[in-house]
Amino acid sequence: MDLLEYQGKQLFARHGVPVPDGRHAASVDEAVAAADEIGYPCVVKAQVQIGGRGKAGGIKVAKDRDEAREYAEAILGMDIRGLTVHELWIEAASEIDSEYYASVVFDRSAKAPLLMLSTKGGMDIEEVADEDPDAIARLHVDPLLGFQDFHGRRLAFEARVDADVVRPVGAMLAKLYEVFVSEEATLVEVNPLIVTPAAAGDGAGRAVKALDAKVTLDDNSLYRHPDNSELRDLSKEDPQERMAKERGLTYVKLDGDIGILANGAGLSMSTLDVVAEAGGRPANFLDAGGGSRAEAITSAVEVILSDDRVKAVLFNIFGGITRGDEVATGLIEAFKQINPSVPFVVRLDGTNGEEGRGLLAQADLPNVHIESTMDGAAQKVVELAKQAEGAPA
């Protein structure tokens, strides 16, 4: 689950990560009121889940109330790389001496969190990696050991940060790692991580702040974080994937026109492969689970057919703990409730597969084709999908 900048900063604040003072706004009047409360100069920032906001004109510094209103009116409703701005973050302007980059990401190949630090902040980290990979210091953290003080010092020295902010940067990295672990994130990124000038007269040295926040939470863990669950913006989620999640189904939307249902992740992936090899384009990955019962099958059919691009559907079920008669009963019930207009190809094998095929034959469902092999089922569903779109089979 990707968070907007202001949501990430609110999460940071829970863990003591220094961030500039800011207010959320969803209208021009709210933005002006927030700017008045924070004081001028302030920054009007578009809230969209994509980079490049500044280059697109989505971040403006307002020197007074009139500019705050002008910029809020201009940015709300703006299109930034295909995303419409509906929310703003009004933030106190910051003085900046230096811009760094810092992140914690889960490295699946290493099976450990990866910390990265660079003094080349404020630009796309992909560009830095391409142009000067040595400018990015990297360190894997043992999940059992956790982040230690020496990790921060090592990264700071390797990234060649200014000597007077080695300790503040290390402390910042420790807090970002705390956010990563405590909130069960897969990505915590700050770009830029700014170094502020020393305050005149009070003897304090330079400090570091998170001027931006990019956070991705593991949505499989949200049941342990009810506060974070409330940050989910359902209106921005794909409707089919949201429907599947609500029904406890594992579903990923793809760009084809053949609906897929199988039981078990391995068989589901294999089904996608054989359909592609037969010349078809899968519309989804849907794993109904290893013990698919009738109600789960009915829900799965509803999810698949809610995608109006689907021209044919392939059921590929191999019974182990899944019973073929249960799957057949679910499909029969789904046809009673939905009355689908697209053809179905069904391959049932394994536990009670013969009984399931018998139930389907007895029900005599319209436009349902029974196949005995996975390859045969894939070829048949591709043929039916091409016929539906008027192309030669």
- Residues identified as active-site: 101, 189
Distance CA 82, CA 157 (A): 40
Distance CA 374, CA 314 (A): 10
Q: Among candidates 129, 220, 205, which has minimal Cα distance to 164? A: 205
Distance CA 267, CA 133 (A): 40
Distance CA 322, CA 329 (A): 12
Amino acid at 63: K
Alpha carbon of 69 to those of 32, 107, 150: distances in Å? 6, 43, 47
Within 13 A of 279's CA, how many CA atoms are on the CB side?
A: 12
Peptide bond before residue 343 is cis, with ω within 30 degrees of 0:
no
Paired tokens of 208: 């570091």
Distance CA 370, CA 156 (A): 63
Residue 170's contacts (CB-CB under 8 Å, 6 or more residues apart) are 149, 151, 152, 153, 155, 156
